Structure 1
């Protein structure tokens, strides 16, 4: 654990409002324009009477002046002075009146208003040097503290990388330094890890009310987000974005580093396919054979993608299925695999179902979510077919659907960890519908949801299971763990609540999509 040098008293970048209140209050300040910009951070306080001061400023400064350098200049030149400061990104101009000007010239106020540059009139004298010393000392102290914290964080994160500890302890170091909860979610929307929260629900609340977040990138792609939540007792979390950015690189390395892998040849082949590198059929077959994946005879490749809070957990879960012929790798915190499945034998089972069943039976599935894609044949009789492109598209589709699968949007499939890409297509399709159409679909099943909420029943799940099992009373009752008579009673109640029979062929498809749309939050 690393401790924050800030605990017991934080130093944060002062805002213009704070400086007006704390250091410039004796000057009796009056805000002439830019009232909506009082909460901008001030990165330095500078005093100058030079007319051409703009090129010497870098942005974020509060400029203190008596206007001496503007004496004798015409109105147009004074307006140019204001525009130049605004273009430089100056935080504000504080203008002491009574020495050079009795009041701030009107044309300067109008120019400041147009440029949204706060101009403050100081009606009493305060020593500029005292204001500069007080504020700049505070800013410098903050920068020193930030550098110290970044050094502490860098040391801790690189120690974690050297030890192969994964991303969980990295988030712990961040949370300790910031004294605030930190959450890591994938770009697909899956929760990877969290520190400083009690459960997954609390982690998602942090994401919803983020104080700051930064992307975690690898090879030019955004693969995750680092999110920091509110500090206990105070929403402001000093240095949050700076420390998140400092941690993003090591976290990216921790995410993409492989855990338990197959052969190096197999891992590299999967990585090349995920990256979309084109492969000739002969090269693909050669590399599959070199990776120990069967391609001869009647067989197909079944792609899959898996995610877990730690990618090594997902990799171990896929490995535990113990398929005879498989290539796999961890790419950007997601496990990708190709499973070779023989086909064409008597009583053959669907290859997708065979792989999905094998994964569902594997030990140590835990919090791993898996999507199994459609089979791809490496068929020499079709020389025009681009097998590598098809595999790339299927692997990426599985990864894209992991977020939907992890949220278990299907009421009939709630609690499952292994899903197929073809069953997730309807959920992807729902996401592309117009909001009004999704709302109409959800409205079909909304009365059942309202009844469940009011009477603590399970009508929505009952109907979803019944439709998903072809309206077979025997199979539906088994899945729901109730007797057939109880099922019939629930179905009758469903008809009464809806006012129509949702199992009729004419509305069957609409009701299935409506239930998925309702579960997806449409």
Structure 2
């Protein structure tokens, strides 16, 4: 820690006298970053905040001077965040100017009287030596801490040992979160305070969702927490969270950077293995599609335990820019529900097999990572190819409609009109039938209600005429008139279907 004003004034060899404030004032514990001497009226352009200024008062007239002169001078120092002022007596001024003392007391600036037998260089040398010792001590601590962390990295449980050593060196708590935002419990590590965990997990999720390398500091429940992502852009492996630590100086920052590098390396070492596992998953899925269920089950049992039980649902998903993070999350989900969730990459899509009981968790995970998805109906491994087609068809519809998820049951139950139904259909329908509505309003006719009734009765003339209470020839004349207004030939099946679809979508609005 740098010396404080109290540290400097308590050095007996300097013979400094505290003028203001009182000895118990916390302003005297402000750290002094350096000592500078100047007799300028405004020395602030040459000073940095946190410095102690020494002056012999050449800038002040000897004898009486207006109070505003001292007040303006001290106010400039305080505005620049100068931590204290040392004034030499018996050099230019025999005694400390009362106006300066009053101004320092008014503005809360610590004031020290420097006797003529104490040269400024002695004060400067004292602070310089103190800072040099501090710097040497921090460098020595940093070197020893680096060695301890390097030794920890060589242990069998390298990652856990590294994080435990970091906690010991920083005297705080350290938490590691995986690529899906789950807290990885480390034996012997200090627990994250329970009151902080919800806020920390929320911040971790946001950092991972951004998909890029980042470091951030935030305040959670009154405590400072530092978050550092691990991994590469779009290939994040997790987040390191640090709390209850002292402010980060260069030495502590170096230690944290070393741990981040080692932790990232440890996590990256598993990437090759993860890639091999995903290739194996893809091979197992192709075996299932080819009907080699026995071979696929034996392979899966040796690596993942088993395959999901029938009946199962096939989810075809198109990852967003966070594709790698999605795969990491699916891997963790399959580990958490061992044997109940299986996923594989297939071309640009990701296919997930799961029972209906876990489908909500699969859907929530895909939505979190911005993937578009389509879900098949329940199926068996014997019909996996058909289930995959249903999932892919539903995914195609989800992409077309810009929706996160479409189920195949929605498509099959809605029929062809269901395939056409989307937000734009209503506006298109209104534009198509708008001429009829305008004609009815201006000519006081009933063309639009007549057409709606006619289509509702499957274009049966007698039934429609009876419902409307008009003669069938009148009905025919109205339909012909409607066709002329719309520019449609309603004797044509194609034009009838277009008008029918428009009326259907119009009635839904």
TM-score band w.r.t. shorter chain: 0.3 to 0.5
TM-score norm. by structure 2 comes to 0.45
- The structure with the larger Rg is 2
Q: RCO higher in 1 or 2 (8 Å CA, sep ≥ 6)?
A: 1
Structure with a larger share of its residues in helix:
2
